[in-house]
Amino acid sequence: MIGLDPGLRKTGWGIIEVEGSRLIHVANGIVHSDASCSLAERLVQLYDGLTSVIADWEPHSAAVEETFVNKNPTSTLKLGQARGVVLLVPAMAGIPVAEYTPNHIKKSVVGSGHAAKEQVHAMIGVLLPGVKVNGEDAGDALSVAICHAHNGGGHRSLHSTMSKKKNPLEEALNAPPGAQIIVPGRRQR
Amino acid sequence: MIGLDPGLRKTGWGIIEVEGSRLIHVANGIVHSDASCSLAERLVQLYDGLTSVIADWEPHSAAVEETFVNKNPTSTLKLGQARGVVLLVPAMAGIPVAEYTPNHIKKSVVGSGHAAKEQVHAMIGVLLPGVKVNGEDAGDALSVAICHAHNGGGHRSLHSTMSKKKNPLEEALNAPPGAQIIVPGRRQR
């Protein structure tokens, strides 16, 4: 599956696979657009870059963070335009696209909806052993992919993407804040 | 040339041609998306609909209204997503895409940047004799196309799209508010 973190200048992408209750990192990166080009041209750059990522890795499902609408309407519009293209590309390839709120993603990855960004990024290294994250946006995209995996997105049908079935890792991670979280491969303190 | 009025539910489009200082209506309409579908699917519907409009009519330039960012960030985001796809489609077809502010469009069509929507729509009938406008969004799209024509968008190169050369009709329409505007085919009062 592919996780996507939309942005006009940089759109992060991260691909993982689910093997039983284990997550495996496949690839991650960033699609850039050239700020010296027109808006329409930049959207084509995002479209082409993401289309080629999807052609290369053939994910069978996709997830995008539900955008936090900030107070600056110009930024919101700009982000919206990039997000429109980012949602479009997997859908054009026939891949179902799920959306998750930022809090849901944090809760899925760290176990608390109010975790700091640093905690989320640290957990990516724990959940995807050996991962080399190519920048913050690619890390954000991987966290969306992890959240999607924990919510059944690893299964190959649209139906199961929607299912509420939890895997053991998700149950551990969704424990209330302060609970001891046991993650395979991580030493207990 | 094609004018576009982006919206997630309805995107208006209007195609006109320039013959000397005369504008000729070619076609106009609306691309709908199905509100019962997911956001990603709706963006695909807009993409497919507009791609087919451009394939059918082969415009050589495109213009989109610069979006008024309103106070509701959720609406701004939604509009931004649709707008991203609307800007993408002509750019994917290699067509240059111009953007105009709402005031610039009103000034180009009616002669005043503060004209009411009704005045703009009435002028469409005057400037494009015989036009049958297929709904408000298609009318808005035609007004963007007219503005583009008045700003040199009818010429076939990107360079001339950028030129400041005015045609006589544009000069008449850009006269200060209150000035007598003489439009071919319109009886003077």
Q: What ipTM was reported for this prediction? A: 0.76
Q: Kindly name the residue from B66, B137, B170, B171 that is annotated as catalytic.
A: B137
Is there a catalytic annotation at residue A137? Answer: yes
Is-catalytic flag, A5?
Answer: yes
CATH code of the domain containing B63: 3.30.420.10
| Mean pLDDT comparison of A174-178, B122-126, B172-176, highest-scoring range | B122-126
Does A108 reside within a domain?
A: yes
Name the residue range of residue A16's domain.
Answer: 2-173
- Indicate whether B117 pLDDT > 90: no
Tell me if B88 and A38 make a contact (CB, 8 A cut-off). Answer: no
Given pLDDT bands bounded at 50, 70 and 90, which one contains residue A94?
Answer: very high
- Compare all CA atoms of chain A with the CA of B83 and give the residue at the minimum distance: A81
Q: Tell me whether residue A141 is in a domain.
A: yes
Phi then psi dihedrals of residue A119, to 5 deg: -65, -40
Written as one letter, the residue type at A61 is S
- B-chain CB neighbours of A74 within 8 Å are 69
Q: State the pLDDT at residue A155.
A: 56
Q: Is A32 helix (H, G, I), strand (E, B) or coil?
A: strand
Assess contact for A170 and A151: CB atoms under 8 A.
yes
Band (B71; pLDDT cuts 50, 70, 90):
confident
Q: What tokens appear for B120 in the block?
A: 């703009």
Is A119 a domain residue? yes
Residue at B86: amino acid letter: V
Residue in chain B nearest A78 by alpha carbon: B80
Q: Give domain status of residue A183, yes or no.
A: no
Nearest by CB to residue A84, choosing from B70, B80, B90, is B80
Residue A91 in contact with partner chain B when CB distance is under 8 A: yes
Smallest Cα–Cα separation from A103: which of A66, A145, A139?
A: A66
Chain B, nearest residue to A48 by Cα: B92
Q: Decide if B5 is catalytic.
A: yes
Query: Which pair of tokens denotes residue A16?
Result: 């993982």
Residue B183 lies in a domain: no
Residue B188 lies in a domain: no
Place of tokens 């030129």: B163
Contacts of A184 (CB under 8 A, 6+ apart): A22, A169
CB atoms < 10 A from the CB of B80, how many?
A: 27
Q: Judge whether B178 lies within some domain.
A: no
Residue B91, min C-alpha distance to chain A (Å): 6
Number of structural domains in chain B? 1
Token code pair at residue A139: 């890390």
Task: Judge contact between A85 and A45, C-beta under 8 A.
Answer: no
Q: Is residue B57 part of a domain?
A: yes
Q: How far, in Å, CA of A3 to CA of A146, rounded?
A: 8
Q: Could you tell me the sign of the dihedral formed by the alpha carbons of B112, B117, B122, B124, in that order?
A: positive
**CB count in 10 Å sphere of residue A139:** 21
User: What number of C-beta contacts closer than 8 Å exist between A and B?
Assistant: 100
Mean pLDDT score of chain A, rounded to an integer?
A: 83
A154: confidence class by pLDDT, cuts 50, 70, 90 = low
